[in-house]
Chain A
Amino acid sequence: MAIIKLNVTSGATVPQGVVAKGGGKKLTDYKNTAAIIFLDKQDFKKLETYPGTAVEVRNAFGKVIVTAQLTPDGPHPGVAFMPRGPWANVIIDPDTKSSGCPMYKNTEVEIEPKPELSPLEMADLMKQEYIDKL
């Protein structure tokens, strides 16, 4: 297994929207639909792993465990997609360059397979990332 670098873009997906709008953000469904990174086939080859594996997505802003899945929107090698949510926010570049709007669509990250780990539930993630750091 290898470590690769690519650019992450984030946005809405239907499954994540259904859970969020249905009030299920505290349910495991939210993790299953939003704690994901969609990668291109070629990037899976470079990563030397298979879809469904847990990976660590990291950069200077933070690191988070999510499940890597094969993108349905390929080919887009070098570009990864994360559904919007608290998992993606750990690595999104918060710099707005005085525009009020962070870089949700183009943040550089490093990805490493961590098959022994699994993504945290929403409440546990919020606790680990924020409340425990107080």
Chain B
Amino acid sequence: MYITDKSGFTKETKGQRVVSDVTCPFCGSACDDIVCVVEKDPKTGNEHIKEVYNACKVGTANFLPCKGAERFTTPLWRESKKDDFEPITWDDALEKTADILLAAKHPLIFGWSETSVEAMRYGVRLTELVGGTIDGQVTHCHGPTVQAIQEVGYPTGTLGEVKNRADMIVYWGCNPLNAHARHLSRYSTYVSGFFRRHGRQERKLIVVDPRRTDTAKLADEYIQIELGSDYEIFQAMRALLNDAEVTKDPIGGVPLDTLKGLLETMKSASYGALFFGLGLTHSESKKNNVEAGIGLVQALNDHTKWQIMPLRGHYNVGGLNQVLSWLTGYAYAVNFTRGMPRYNIGEFTGVDMLARKEVDAMFNIAADPGAHIPQKAAMTMAEIPLICCDIHPTPTTELANLILPGTHDGIEAEASCYRMDGVPIHMRKVHDPPAGCKPANHVFLEELVKIVEKKLELPHVMQ
């Protein structure tokens, strides 16, 4: 293991470079303590990552691709989706992209969670120019969480506060050991903090989930609930907290006494943190589940200090919410058909628009909706002109007309992202992208925006 005593060192020895304090561009934990050993190929002069330290298994796969993984390095085009792809130049690819988006009545500009904040800015401008809708993975991940926060607010904090202060951690409807593998060891449970020197020994871990997940197996207390009963359980706990009489027993498969016990444990914490995942946003009641959870945490603050936080999936899924909020005033699903930003969940959310076949062209970047959205919506993607920017083949590129070779922002280019707690992080560059790819995704997006502006005879206004 490399110990990074100095922040941000880059050391060169024997043809190898060691880059420290790299941010892992995968999950919302955005661990920024990764160390990469970079090696130069003496023949080609190209650099590649040889070793990775500190990252989890999935994070490591980001830096060290699977054996046999294909990498796009040139734009690929096919007129018909039944044909094979042919390589084309970047100039032709951007020209085609501009033409497709301008010819469309209602284009969808989708994705963004795995690219930089800098790229997102151009995405918003592009959407405004072509009069389309901009949305991202947030719509089908923590979209309901955003809605709940808009309705009732939320008492939250940073992961640093959890690390330094929390003595009780609750994971509800999530399995961080599989989806955010270092969350427990770096931020919440095992880590030693300023006021929690002894780490795990000073913290109680509780997991609530319908399945006895890997995280549940590590917990001090695991409560198994019925699928889709989160709302009922949260509301019962809020009622109990307000000394109301609850007559139903069991609730959502949990005996009432267990819930009473859980509540007493939660009240006894000096600083508690509740993390929730897609278990709440992907089951019946969606945003109401989250609202009820927030309500419980708000009520607990009458007794002791508690905070609540969604476990955001991709490293920059929160970034799209931030960029859209500061540029348009809305967090996601923003429509520009009338030339000004409009926001309406259900109407302008990507999955709904695709499922209703209201979209007639799609630009997808740094996302794989082909793998992550249900069949009805994915079918529309197959039916319409689809441009996809990605680094490797995905189910989405299988449905595309045009593939733009992406740059791995955060590894092959400097980038900014927002961690799951809303803390912005500057990501260091490790090595250059392969020949044929642009220096960063925002570089080709700027070129694209300029082409579209030229076609519309508009001046370039972005700095």
Contacts and interface: CB of A to CB of B under 8 A. Distances in A.
A84 B64 CA distance: 22
Contacts of B71: 23
Contact of B349 (A9, A61, A92, A100): A100
Interface residues of B, number: 72
B282 A84 contact: no
Contacts of B283: 9, 103, 105-106
Nearest to A76: B211
Contacts of B286: 97, 99, 101
Interface string A43-78: 000000000000000000110000000011111100
Interface in B136-181: 139-141, 143-144, 147, 175, 178-179, 181
A94 B179 contact: no
B352 interface: yes
A103 to B, nearest CB: 7
Nearest to A18: B61
Contacts of A122: 395, 398
A84 B227 contact: no
A24 B371 contact: no
Interface residues of A, number: 58
Contacts of B81: 131, 134
A129 B375 contact: yes
A22 B64 contact: yes
B91 interface: no
A126 B398 contact: yes
A85 B369 CA distance: 9
B382 A134 contact: yes
Nearest to A95: B355
B398 A19 contact: no
Interface in A2-17: 7, 9, 11-14, 17
Nearest to B380: A130
A82 B349 CA distance: 25
A118 interface: no
B425 interface: no
Interface of B: 26, 57-59, 61-62, 64-66, 68-71, 81-82, 139-141, 143-144, 147, 175, 178-179, 181, 210-214, 216, 224, 227-228, 278-279, 281-284, 286-287, 313, 333, 345-346, 349-352, 355, 368, 370-379, 381-383, 391-395, 398-399
